[in-house]
Structure 1
Amino acid sequence: MKQEFSIHLLSRTRDRIQKFLSKEFEKEGIKDLVPAHGGVLYALGISNGMTMSELAKVLDRTNSTVTALLDKMEDLKYIKRIQSNEDERVFTAVLTAKGKTAREAVIRASNTTNQTLYNGLNPNERQTFIKLLERIHSNFET
């Protein structure tokens, strides 16, 4: 493959991974969320709650994107937002019981997707792949 097609290949691969992960979500019974919501569920489960700004940083998304994700998740009862006592402009998002259950399903779907991603790669190839992705990702830091 020629170097100039790398961007195209990365883009097509990302699309295929997202499509595969969405199907895995459906198999797990999650039919109302997309993979981007899975990242929110995962992050909130690790920290037991985060502000919008904290989530945006962890997920490498803009505050407005995180707000849109949380709006839908709150409407669907996966998360709730708690207003800060110190600063009424600050809200912390936390998982509901439904969100905690969905998080476990997201983890299973993600594990299956990772198994497919790494299929046919030996441990050294996996490590090299991750190192290269991290290096490429850092090339675009703003």
Structure 2
Amino acid sequence: MDRDLVLFVIGRITERVNRFLAGELREGGMRELGVSHMEIIGVLTRREKIQMKDLVNLIGKDKSTITALVKKLVRMGLVKKSADPGDSRVSFISLTVKGKGLEPVINAISVRLRARAYRGLTEREKGDLMRLLGKMLGNF
């Protein structure tokens, strides 16, 4: 493989991962959710609550995009927003009971994604890949 095509290959992987996830969401009866919604729900399954600004930094999308995604999740009853009692300018988001009900489905999708993505890679290769991708990410 041509070494100058690394970024092209990363882009293709991203495209295929998104297609895989969209199909999984449809099959799981979550047609109205996009991959970015799944990212937010995935973060919230690992944290009881998170500040909006931290979610922006963690997911890597701009604030207006995250705000729109969260608003849809709130409308769907999957996420709730609450103000910090000590500082009303700070808002937290967390999963509702309905949102927590998606956790097993989201986790199962994540397991299937990782199984497919890492098929044929050793633990050492996965570690090397993460190290190299982290190095590239740090360049931006």
- After TM superposition, the score normalised by the length of structure 2 is 0.90
RMSD: 1.5
Alignment of 1:46-61 (within 5 A): 46-61=46-61
Alignment of 1:85-104 (within 5 A): 85-104=85-104
Contact map agreement 1:30 1:102 (CA 8 A) in 2 = no
- Aligned residue number for residue 118 of structure 2: 118
Alignment of 1:3-22 (within 5 A): 3-22=3-22
Q: Percent identity?
A: 26
Moved more, 37-46 or 65-74: 37-46
Gaps in structure 2 of 5+ consecutive residues: none
- After TM superposition, the score normalised by the length of structure 1 is 0.89
In the TM superposition, residue 3 of structure 1 has moved relative to its aligned partner by 2.9
Aligned partners of 1:123, 1:89: CA distance in 2, in Å?
44
In the TM superposition, residue 93 of structure 1 has moved relative to its aligned partner by 0.7
**Letter aligned with residue 56 of structure 1:** V
Q: Secondary structure at the match of 2:31?
A: coil
**1:130 corresponds to 2:99:** no
Aligned partners of 1:106, 1:95: CA distance in 2, in Å?
13
Would you say how many aligned residue pairs link Structure 1 and Structure 2?
140
Aligned partners of 2:61, 2:103: CA distance in 1, in Å?
19
**Letter aligned with residue 90 of structure 2:** V
In the TM superposition, residue 14 of structure 1 has moved relative to its aligned partner by 0.5
In the TM superposition, residue 117 of structure 1 has moved relative to its aligned partner by 0.2
